[in-house]
């Protein structure tokens, strides 16, 4: 009987020890489990994404254009390429059918404001109105709300990013490849700049309102494909994010998942975007 009680006490002690250890361990394990990959913690702004495979995201801003966007959609369809369109609300209201076609064909639609102002110079109420009207126009055209915002010119303050993310749920999408196609340098220059700068995980900025950009696309897409790049929408690219090998802890103000320096358009608004 004494032996039995001895074993019972030992067994109970073991259970208690295990429970204690587990109890101590679980919060830490739990927090580790829920921690996002390094470099993406608390990050709502992206100019590129760290990925293991050669995926990239093509983005086209300022449309839709009645003349050029359908041409681009035809080209993307022949290549089976999905892109992301950051549309202007005014243009969506004018040509909702083009936006609807893009969404139907698998492209992603993001908010690029109603009339392309500098957010960093505006009151919260005016920014809110720009976003709300465009959000409504997109939802009316394609049936769902956008989840991405590209601020015109990349102009946005850190404070604006936070409240816009909290209020609209948007992630802020900048870029790391900029061919300056808005300066209309000619199709060959647009293509060469894109080919030179694009890396795996790149987010490529261009505009489907400039004829030279559309002219540049057939050879640009051929060349990017020849280099082995694969095209996904921005949201797909974000879902592919993997931890960075960098040992530098991300700062709380980190605006990008990429270790590559970006053009930092938030600091100095660029005429691009």
Q: Applying CB under 5 A, which residues contact Zn ion?
A: 61-62, 152, 273
CB of 225 to Zn ion, least distance (A): 26
Nearer of residues 250 and 263 to Zn ion, judged by Cβ: 263
Provide the β-strand partners of residue 100.
Answer: none
Between 146 and 152, whose beta carbon lies closer to Zn ion? 152
**By C-beta, is 110 or 152 nearer to Zn ion?**
152
Picking from 186, 181, 161, the residue whose alpha carbon sits closest to that of residue 172 is 161
Which of 95, 112, 207, 210 is catalytic? The answer is 207
208 is a catalytic site residue: no
Q: Report the nearest approach of Zn ion to the CB of residue 60 (Å).
A: 10
What minimum distance in Å lies between the beta carbon of 151 and Zn ion?
9
CA separation for the pair 179, 48 (Å, rounded): 15
Name which of 93 and 223 has its Cβ closer to Zn ion: 93
What is the nearest approach in angstroms of Zn ion to the Cβ of residue 226? 29
Q: Name residues whose C-beta falls within 8 Å of residue 174's C-beta, 6 or more positions apart in sequence.
A: 45, 46, 47, 150, 154, 203, 255, 256, 262, 263, 265, 266, 273
CA–CA dist 126, 80 (Å, integer): 38
- Pick from 202, 198, 208, 260: nearest CA to 234: 202
Structure tokens at 70: 């359908």
**Which of 61, 178, 181, 208 is flagged as catalytic?**
61
Smallest separation (angstroms) from Zn ion to the CB of 23: 53
Chain residue whose CB lies nearest Zn ion: 61
Residue with Cβ nearer Zn ion (61 or 181): 61
Parallel/antiparallel/unpaired status of strands 230-231 and 55-61:
parallel
CA distance 64 to 204: 18
Indicate if 207 belongs to the active site.
Answer: yes
Compute the residue count for the chain: 273
CA 85 to chain centre: 11
- Known catalytic residues are 61, 207
């Amino acid at each position: 009987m004494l032996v039995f009680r001895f074993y019972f006490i030992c067994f109970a002690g073991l259970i208690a020890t295990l429970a204690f250890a587990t109890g101590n361990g679980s919060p830490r394990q739990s927090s580790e489990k829920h921690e996002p990959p390094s470099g993406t913690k608390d990050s709502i702004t992206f100019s590129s994404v760290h990925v293991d495979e050669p995926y990239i995201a093509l983005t086209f801003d300022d449309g839709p254009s009645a003349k050029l966007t359908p041409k681009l959609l035809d080209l993307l369809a022949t290549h089976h390429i999905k892109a992301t369109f950051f549309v202007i609300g005014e243009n969506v209201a004018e040509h909702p059918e083009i936006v609807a076609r893009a969404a139907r064909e698998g492209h992603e639609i993001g908010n690029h404001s109603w009339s392309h102002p500098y957010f960093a110079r505006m009151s919260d109420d005016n920014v809110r109105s720009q976003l709300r009207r465009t959000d409504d126009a997109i939802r009316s055209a394609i049936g769902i709300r956008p989840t991405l915002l590209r601020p015109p010119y990349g102009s946005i303050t850190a404070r604006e990013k936070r409240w816009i993310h909290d209020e609209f749920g948007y992630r802020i999408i900048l870029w790391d490849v900029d061919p300056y196609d808005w300066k209309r340098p000619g199709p060959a220059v647009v293509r060469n700049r894109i080919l030179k700068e694009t890396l795996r995980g790149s987010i490529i900025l261009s505009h489907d309102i400039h004829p030279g950009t559309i002219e540049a696309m057939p050879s640009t897409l051929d060349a990017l494909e020849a280099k082995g790049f694969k095209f996904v929408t921005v949201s797909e690219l974000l879902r592919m994010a993997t931890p960075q090998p960098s040992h530098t802890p991300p700062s709380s103000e980190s605006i990008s998942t990429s270790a590559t320096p970006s053009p930092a358009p938030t600091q100095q608004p660029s005429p691009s975007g």
